[in-house]
Chains A and B, each alone.
Chain A
């Protein structure tokens, strides 16, 4: 088992050799009253999860971690942390790759290297029972391909070592935690605007043609803007605009 991680002040590490899913563990901890900034790290996951029931192949050698947060905000605001995490991962990956590699953020929070997916992020929150209430906890789950990546994925993938980086898991997660603490503070102090601005500088496909796979159909248009809540604004061929809050974005063929 690896050495402990050197995490930013205020973070508490829970290090596991194996777990079903770090998000599940963080969710259980959230329900059990664990403190904010509990950082769950597993060397491998037996039931790693992506969005909407997809699995996340999780062998030893890649990074799997979930950060438990307790922001005192409404769920719609908590969802902004999606972009906070994407920024933290993008900066981490960029700092660990040779010059010349193009790192980008695919809406809302995948991180790409030269157009290939290196990281996936999934957040889960739990709100109190009061209508209009605040979230009780928010879990930010991050998977980063470091030593390996799965073949044949929906969106073609890569890994840090494949792309020319050499950092081991510990170094990647430590760098991520530092960037996450940095951007969370900015988000908490100054709101979503600076996060949104920074994310836009990493944005993949902004102003270009994209295909968005919604739950029940696929639509195509121009990724024309990111609205103030973080939703993707798609300009449709007929001139109308559509606000997308959930879906998978692909470059148009």
Chain B
């Protein structure tokens, strides 16, 4: 069922192309799969739920869902600086570096993101309390993906 396969990389590339070229919309199709990536004010504005694209392009909608942008605009959002794999503990078997409810200092290590055998401890962008952890140990993360919220 190729139509239901979400090609995140392709969507990401198209989205990057949008940003680079300044275009508002790119449509791409191959082998019966059609992808449209569009940007509009409804996407950028937080909480502007919904009326984006057409039912024919569920993948693009899912990838650019307003909820994601919503969290991204949160001042205490901890975002992944790179594509990689996230770890919640310093080493396998260790307790998590932080848990929901913990108070953290600015710069304190919250998570580790690995790519290409490069380990990147993720520092707290600000002090406060961890209110949400949005990733699970060892899951892949994307560039800019919100991993935690600090209030």
Contacts and interface: CB of A to CB of B under 8 A. Distances in A.
Contacts of A246: 84-85, 114-117
B119 A129 contact: no
A41 interface: no
Contacts of B84: 76, 79, 245-246
B95 interface: no
Interface stretch (B34-42, B59-67, B120-128): B120-128
A82 B117 contact: yes
A74 B81 contact: yes
A245 B140 contact: yes
B117 A76 contact: no
A71 to B, nearest CB: 12
Interface string A13-26: 00000000000000
B115 A53 contact: no
Interface in A17-52: 51-52
A76 B82 contact: yes
Contact of B138 (A78, A130, A215): A215
A231 interface: yes
B118 A124 contact: yes
Chain A interface residue count: which class?
A: 35 or more
B93 A53 contact: yes
B92 A53 contact: yes
Contacts of B115: 76, 79, 229-231, 245-246
B83 A76 contact: yes
Given A245-B84, A245-B116, A126 B5 contact: no
Contacts of B119: 51, 122-125
Contacts of B93: 53
A74 B138 CA distance: 22
B9 interface: yes
Interface string B82-99: 111101001111100000
Contacts of A230: 115-116
A123 B117 contact: yes
Contacts of B83: 76, 229, 231, 243, 245
Contacts of B137: 215
Interface in B129-148: 137-138, 140, 143
A235 interface: no
Contacts of A216: 138
Contacts of A122: 117, 119
Contact of B81 (A82, A127, A215): A127
Contacts of B58: none
A243 to B, nearest CB: 6
Contacts of A135: 120
A158 to B, nearest CB: 20
A56 to B, nearest CB: 13
A39 B122 CA distance: 25
21 contacts: A51-B114, A53-B90, A53-B91, A76-B82, A76-B115, A76-B143, A79-B118, A81-B118, A108-B116, A123-B116, A125-B120, A126-B120, A129-B124, A214-B85, A231-B83, A231-B116, A243-B83, A245-B83, A245-B115, A245-B140, A246-B117
Given A79-B120, A126-B123, 11 more contacts: A52-B91, A52-B92, A52-B114, A53-B91, A76-B84, A122-B117, A122-B119, A123-B118, A127-B120, A230-B115, A230-B116
